[in-house]
Structure 1
Amino acid sequence: MLITIPDILDAAALTEAKELLAKTGWADGRKTAGPEAAKVKRNEQADLSSRSGTALHTLLNDAIRKNAVFQAAAQPARLSRLLVSRSGEAQGYGTHVDNALMGTGANRIRTDLSFTLFLNDPADYEGGELTIDWAGMIHSMKLEAGSLLLYPSTSLHRVETITSGQRTVCVGWVQSQVRTSEQRDILFDLANLKVSVRASLPEGAPEHLALSKVIANLRRLWSEV
């Protein structure tokens, strides 16, 4: 599934993120790419080990983890460490598939889902669309600042070449508690249905308990712990 989640970062959080970015150093993005991806990757990545970088990582990580829609859609067991990248004129990221495993030792995860959190407005740059080949269709996305796109790590995707301006995003990966996309889709639909039922039926209605039971039992059946 491809899911757009608006307002992961509100206006105040975006302002704080931009202030921290202004204090953070940058390095060649190919340092964090796999051998094949490095051949088509042309961007820079923020140094998140510095004081400002650490504060930025905490800000973004907390906002993503606390978002209810992200939790319902991704069913996250573990998240990778975040990366923040920027691409200027003539830069981008050619077609690639994300590594199946990322990190080392205790931080190693299986990548089930990828996400991109846009940190500046689409009007700030030309080009730079995130283009995803998924389910037999090509999806080209360029979201508002503060919005996140969640998509399968199994898909081929690319960042179109920037023709003017600068694109800044946060990217990361999820190892889900629920391994298959079909099962995650069902649980996400049920979570949305639960919200609708809560709004339309009185508290204590038997439908609430029945739906909670179905969700709990499907998670018990499908979840990896």
Structure 2
Amino acid sequence: MSEPAAYEPTERTVPTRSRERATYDRALVHAVLDEGYVCHLGFVRDGAPVVLPTLYGRVGERLYIHGSTGSRPLRMAGTTAPGLPVCVTVTHVDGLVLARSAFHHSLNYRSVVVYGIARQVTDPAERASALDALVDHVLPGRADDSRRADAKELAATAVLRLDLEEVSAKFRTGGPVDEPEDVSLPYWSGVLPVIGGYGTPVPADDLDPSISMPAYVTAR
């Protein structure tokens, strides 16, 4: 049975401002998640909010986040506990929007917010698949071109799973929106695009010269 084309809006995923910028389109949400590298994982610890930046990977309708088995949020997610309530965000900045007035300066952006219960992954096959996904999310093809974690490394690594159920995306595009009376002011107004890219790959100092650079690196 195929997934619906959009996520169902909830009270938490409907923004209070600029609702017209929100979307629940499943393909758009996946595209924003797949383009990013770092998410911010938010949760409550000892009654206070905590937000941690971390790597993630997506497999279908699940996000995977990894960390040390000694990490507080990973311990809180537990294997027997009901899980850890979390909020995960991913944001791309596409442009600086410079208006004539300071008040109307803004950003062009694409963002995704996911609410849910994060749980530890204990099934060995799912853990292996999740760890491959985390590596390949950063650079597709890398998992098969590297040594996978050994038993000691796996024992020190925990993986969280967060199902994509309560999800929304939000976008801003276009130029500045100035007040009509400000249009004639003598200040430059427009958009400064923010463009990401990769530099020239730098081989490790101890790399065997006979090992050629893989295609998934040169293609970037």
Shorter-normalised TM range: under 0.3
TM-score by length of 1: 0.26
Computing the radius of gyration from Cα coordinates, the structure with the larger value is: 2
